Amino acid sequence: MLTKSVYLDAKNRTLELLNIAGIALTNAEKDAIEVADFGLKQVEIQGLQLITYINNDHYCAKELVLFPHQTCPEHKHPPINQFDGKTETFRCRLGKVFLYVEGSATEKISATIPESSKEYYTVFHEIELNPGDQYTIPPNTLHWFQAGEEGAIVSEFSTTSSDEYDIFTDPNINRISEIEE
């Protein structure tokens, strides 16, 4: 559970990074910034800030904001009914992102795996994304990602997003964050 002060601090830092990147938001979008701590109470280490522009039956568009060395934990987007699962394209806008997907393991990865959850990180094929680089993650593919030393912003373009169905390798994760009043 996030405290109100941690949430507000993360939201303000998110707005600062978006401003640096020249990404303008409406007031409604600023109010809707989500801070995900994944129920781990260590948002600075394993967390993610995001803004969803649109999410309908056909497609989704978001900005994913990461603080320096912040990690979005390993997960996949599984099939749901007749839907194959989410296909998502990450396009780096600011900073550097180390994305890890299924495939042959990179010998020496650039990211630092969060110590408290080390056993839940299992895929190590590294893709480095710099501004302008993009990569498409197929449905039902395990992946995780971490920002470099300056933090990062990634635009996500995908099929419909159903975050509540994401499967995390860490059983302690709760995808929907709660804010303590």
The 10s digit of each residue's pLDDT in 40-95 is 999 999 999 999 999 999 999 999 999 999 999 999 999 998 889 999 999 999 99
Domain count, the chain: 1
Residue that has been written with the tokens 């993360």 in this structure: 10
Domain residues for the domain of 35 are: 2-180
Residue 90, helix vs strand vs coil: strand
Nearest Cα residue to 162 out of 31, 52, 63, 67: 52
DSSP at 79 = -
Q: Whole-angstrom Cα distance, residue 68 to residue 70?
A: 5
DSSP at 80 = B
Q: What integer pLDDT is reported at residue 176 of this predicted model? A: 75
Q: Could you tell me what percent of the chain has a pLDDT over 90? A: 92
Q: Report the predicted TM-score, pTM, of the whole model to 2 decimal places.
A: 0.96
- CATH number of the domain that residue 135 is part of: 2.60.120.10
